[in-house]
Amino acid sequence: MANRGSWFFEGYQAHYVIDETGKRKKVLTYTGEYYGIEPPSAHRKARLWTAVDVVALTVVLLLLQFFPGLGGTLPWVGAPCMWALVPLMFLIIGEVNFLVCKEKWEARRLYAGYRRIKRSAWGLVLLTGYVCLAHGVTLFLFPQLFPAELYYTLGALVCTLLSAGLLLIQRTFPAYAVQGPTIR
């Protein structure tokens, strides 16, 4: 089924069975590699730390969105911070998929959970890092805003560090093939 061009079907083989009414029915069977984080205690730690990190990141980023201050309403600061909600949504979807994974995952779960977290974290690092830099430059150009707007810059910096923390968690707990036809 890998010839369908989608990671969703990677590792699946299709075969036909005759059901009780005599019709041919297509059945997919997973024959690919199983992935995981070994040992099981590391898998539990990775799930816990990513969940804590995603919750903290969501809270801080939503606080920045709801209470932007004057500097956060500028188009070169506010727009990228709003765009950061898109990778945040994909990060939450990936985290939910990662949390429901057992100790061995199919390729579908690897891509939908573990790797989606990494791609979304990279997007958040870039966007919130830019927001932090742009808001810092804004504070430098308009020093009268400094005391009241410092929380926005620090919030964007915290979001960048939390996103980088997700990447560090994935580097600390790498996923690899634990069972399957061709274990590397």
∠ Cα 34 53 147 (to 5°): 155
Q: Is residue 184 part of a domain?
A: no
2 lies in the same domain as 56: no
Comparing CA positions, the residue from 59, 47, 162 lying closest to residue 97 is 47
Give yes or no: residues 137 and 70 share one domain: yes
Mean pLDDT of the chain: 87
Based on the fold, state whether residues 139 and 70 are members of the same structural domain.
Answer: yes
Q: Which domain holds residue 130?
A: 37-179
CB 91 within 8 A of CB 57: yes
Tokens linked to 85: 């909600």
What span, in angstroms and rounded, lies between the C-alpha atoms of 58 and 50? 12
Among 4-13, 14-23, 72-81, 99-108, name the one with the lowest average pLDDT. Answer: 4-13
Chain segment 33-56, per-residue pLDDT in tens: 889 998 889 999 999 999 999 999
